Amino acid sequence: MGEMVRVVVVHDETLLRSALVQLLRSEDTLEAASQCPDADGAEGAALPADVCVVDGEYLSGPDGRGAGVRARYGDRLVVLTTAKRPGVLRRAFDGGALGLVDKNAPAHRLITAVHTVAKGERFLDETLTVALLKGAEMPLTTRELGVLALASQGAPVAEIAARLHLSRGTVRNYMATAIRKVGARNRIDAIRIVQSAGWT
């Protein structure tokens, strides 16, 4: 039997968190525990672990709650995500996570990823490679994303201009450019495309 690997699972959905822990415990060389975020997204005291398995949506949430997980576990992260969310995938990769596992992969892929990351090596599910490249090709600038993000919250052009210290005409130009770049019909469609890809 190989050396024991301590794994902590961070996920804000109780049922999925419990299922992941049970799956990992089915492997004799893995010792798994779960970390339950509270209502504010805080994970509480850090559990000692060699690897942290975390949901990609949780890790890249807009409230910054994933920063605590990164600070505690560094690159020893195995991130669960899908090819449909290239933005989430790209942020996990750029953030230094060593493991990227497709949520639709067979269970043994997660176990392999945990063992690989525990050795300090990278694991990338082959089903995610094309999506990772798409994530790198995100067509919008930071400013265009910012304008769309505020628009998605219902902010009118005047409010967006005031909050970003821009003129209304400049905001309209950014909006028009963003709509064109993502191939959208209008701002609502552009927001849908950007959010679906996980770029915001």
Q: pLDDT tens digits for 187-200?
A: 888 888 888 777 76
Bridge partners of 78, per DSSP, are 53, 99
Confidence check: pLDDT of 62 > 80:
no
Q: Is 14 in contact with 98 (CB distance < 8 Å)? A: no
For residue 85, the model assigns a pLDDT of: 83
Q: Which residues contact 157 (CB under 8 A, 6 or more apart)?
A: 168, 171, 172, 175
For residues 135 and 21, give the distance between their C-alpha atoms in angstroms, rounded to a whole number.
29
Q: What is the mean pLDDT of the chain?
A: 84
* Global pTM value: 0.70
DSSP 8-state code for residue 97: -
Bridge partners of 51, per DSSP, are 7
Model confidence at 126, pLDDT cuts 50, 70, 90, reads confident
Q: Provide the percentage of residues in the chain whose pLDDT is more than 70.
A: 88
Bridge partners of 9, per DSSP, are 34, 53
The predicted model gives 3-28 an average pLDDT of 91
In DSSP notation, 129-176 reads: HHHHHHHHT----HHHHHHHHHHHTT--HHHHHHHHT--HHHHHHHHH
For residue 5, the model assigns a pLDDT of: 92
